[in-house]
Amino acid sequence: MRLKLFTAIFLAVLLSAIPTLSVSALSEDEISSPAAILMDANSGKILYEKNAHDQRPCASITKVMTLTLVMEAIDSGKIHMDDVVTTSAHAASMGGSDIWLEEGEQMTVDDMVKATVVASANDAAVALAEFVSGSEDDFVAAMNEKAKSLGMEDTTFMNCNGLDEEGHITSAHDVAVMSRELIKHEQIFDYTSIWLDYLRDGETQIVNTNKLLKSYNGITGLKTGTTGEAGSCISATAERDGLSLIAVVLGAGSGTDRFRDAATLLDYGFANFECRELSLEDELSPVPVEGGMQEEVEIACDDSTYLTVPKGEGEGVEQTLDVPESLPAPVSKGDVVGSLSFSLGEEEIASFDIVAAEDVEEKSFGSILMLLLQSMIKM
């Protein structure tokens, strides 16, 4: 049998200063672009979508995946920010937005990342790709493998910088997914928040293509893109009061349209949703162990849980704790032994594994003998 505990979690104290609001609908007419999505960055919950799975080119928003792989390589120690990257003839041949790298020119990884993020430099993106994987083709293969692992079923990458190329497609949904993956590397915000900077010892000025940095409260990034086939695109990230949002707009008719649509999406999210933190520490009790060297095992979950809910509806969140009445030995630390889920009405809004916090050996002749010997030594 399993013990299921249902309790309503009341947040009246936390919410008393917030007026009760129902989520106001955002009509498709308010978003002029053909495809868009608003996602909660903490949970991945979709808060609004319009043709979110339509496959479309996304121009330089492609670099979100490029930067994700670069940041992974940095975090793993494969490459370092002070490593020197030498520009290949292939990287130097890129058109569109670039920093005019010349074959053989050298820059640090730090400067190449800065150029890719701030100036949306196609040549710098390719130089980074080659530095990480040896060739752009091998890097693009890794991009597609990463996309597959993230469940980005609408996406096929043909290059690492987003220049128009047949078969190079994604969707607003998939852009949000890979944007959420990139911002897990918080160091990226050191670059996406830059408005103006310099390269080549001050000789080259770069200005951020994301104009929301100058106009939107709480904006943290992320990436713009424009080509003839893709139109004007943006993945915009912003945070207020612990609520982190990702707004994606694809195929806008102009740069002005994409920024307006992204701001409208973010405004909708911040006006209608809030992030609540619930402590779970006091909810968990040890579970008895049958046939173990200990009578029970401690269990654990995240110290806190972040839930994004419609404003004013936090008091309606219900918690379901599902753990067994007992566990058979042996038990290993990290074993999943149950679950903790949260729901609002009929919808589950978060779920977390409950794990064993320690090892419990199975009773055996040898283990009992060892325990007796240890007891005798202590006497």
Q: Looking at the predicted structure, is the pLDDT value of residue 172 above 70?
A: yes
Mean pLDDT computed over 85-100: 94
Same domain? For 94 and 178 the reply is: yes
Strand partners, 156: 169
Q: Is 324 a member of any domain?
A: yes
Same domain? For 36 and 137 the reply is: yes
The 10s digit of each residue's pLDDT in 280-291 is: 645 688 999 998
Q: Is 180 a member of any domain?
A: yes
Task: Identify the pLDDT of residue 314.
Answer: 67
Q: Looking at the predicted structure, is the pLDDT value of residue 208 above 60?
A: yes
pLDDT category at 166 given cuts 50, 70, 90 is: very high
The 10s digit of each residue's pLDDT in 122-135 is: 999 999 999 999 99
Residue of 262, 254, 352 lying closest to 307 (CA atoms): 352
Tokens of 28: 């498709």
SS3 328: strand
Same domain? For 269 and 284 the reply is: no
Same domain? For 127 and 179 the reply is: yes
Tokens of 36: 């868009």
Same domain? For 92 and 200 the reply is: yes
Same domain? For 132 and 238 the reply is: yes
Count of helices and strands (H, E) across the chain = 10, 19
Q: What is the pTM of this model?
A: 0.80
Domain range holding 339?
280-356
Q: Is 313 a member of any domain?
A: yes
Long-range contacts from 347-350, C-beta under 8 angstroms, 24+ separation? 349/43, 349/45, 349/307, 349/308, 349/309, 349/317, 350/43, 350/305, 350/306, 350/307
Active site residues: 60, 63, 120
Q: What is the CATH number of the domain that holds 161?
A: 3.40.710.10
Task: Identify the pLDDT of residue 124.
Answer: 97
What percentage of the chain reaches a pLDDT higher than 70? 87
Q: Looking at the predicted structure, is the pLDDT value of residue 248 above 90?
A: yes
Same domain? For 210 and 352 the reply is: no
Mean pLDDT computed over 325-345: 90
Q: Are 234 and 262 in contact (CB under 8 A)?
A: yes
CA pair distance 370, 335, nearest whole angstrom: 25
Task: Identify the pLDDT of residue 21.
Answer: 36
Same domain? For 202 and 312 the reply is: no
Q: Which residue has the tokens 């379901």?
A: 320
The 10s digit of each residue's pLDDT in 80-89 is: 999 999 999 9
Q: Looking at the predicted structure, is the pLDDT value of residue 14 above 80?
A: no
Same domain? For 197 and 178 the reply is: yes
Q: Which residue has the tokens 């202590």?
A: 378
Mean pLDDT computed over 332-352: 86
| Number of domains present in the structure of the chain | 2
Mean pLDDT computed over 298-321: 78
Q: Are 155 and 143 in contact (CB under 8 A)?
A: no
The 10s digit of each residue's pLDDT in 19-53 is: 333 456 787 789 999 999 999 998 899 999 999 99
Same domain? For 224 and 89 the reply is: yes
- pLDDT mean across residues, the chain: 88
HEC assignment per residue over 251-311: EECCHHHHHHHHHHHHHHHHHHEEEEEEECHHHCCCEEEECECCCEECEECCCEEEEEEEC
pLDDT category at 13 given cuts 50, 70, 90 is: very low
Q: What is the CATH number of the domain that holds 345?
A: 2.60.410.10
Same domain? For 91 and 190 the reply is: yes
Q: Is 139 a member of any domain?
A: yes
Same domain? For 214 and 314 the reply is: no
Q: Is 13 a member of any domain?
A: no
